[in-house]
Chains A and B, each alone.
Chain A
């Protein structure tokens, strides 16, 4: 059972990313969109949490939202995969269902 969890909040604003990680099972995918992509950046207080999640989950970030927020690829945590909207659709298809952590 693998699910896609979308997170659209900055981890510095609301605990949506934290909860998505806590309440998702091993093998799940977490996709950061909108302000959620701030959680994909290196050197923040959320970095360890994201890296910890990558032990048994995959973390993705939406390219257009990274670009709009001036987060260049070299500032993205190693292992976080960057996807476009077509990739977002593929993730939805590849997983059993989608849960939005608003």
Chain B
């Protein structure tokens, strides 16, 4: 068994209403230290985690949305968004944040690792993962 596993974090919940989105993001941040092959999948209300323009100044909740933008620096290589979930909520990729990624050794750069995928791709990506975290 290889030491590097394909990790998939499956996010299906909206932020703020419950703590699941924030605490699962904490797992991704801590998990970065283990140098695994990490992807995130956003389906259902999970797509709201990537929405631009969140303002928590009047709700007195911790605004963790900026943290998603840093995930490329935490070794996260792919952030997939289910197309049908996005469309069902009247959203497009333009409503979502962009997350840049750079390999500091090879200087390979990707402007935005947030990628909208169809149902078949979601199924394939989940099936190809070796560990799926659900929160």
Contact = CB atoms under 8 A, between A and B. Distances in A.
A15 B85 CA distance: 11
B131 A97 contact: yes
Interface of A: 1, 3, 15, 19, 22-25, 28, 96-102
A71 B124 CA distance: 34
Interface string B97-135: 000000000000000000000010011101111111011
Interface size of B as a range: 10 to 19
B49 interface: no
Q: Which of A1, A99, A101 has the most CB of B within 10 A?
A: A99
B44 interface: yes
Q: What are the 10 closest A-B residue pairs judged by CB atoms, nearest first?
A: A100-B134, A99-B132, A25-B127, A23-B123, A1-B127, A23-B122, A102-B134, A25-B123, A22-B119, A23-B126
Contacts of A97: 129-132
Q: Which of A15, A23, A96 has the most CB of B within 10 A?
A: A23
A19 B119 CA distance: 10
Contacts of B122: 22-23
A85 B119 CA distance: 31
B77 interface: no
B78 interface: no
Given A19-B43, A22-B123, A102 B12 contact: yes
Contact of A99 (B44, B119, B124, B126): B126
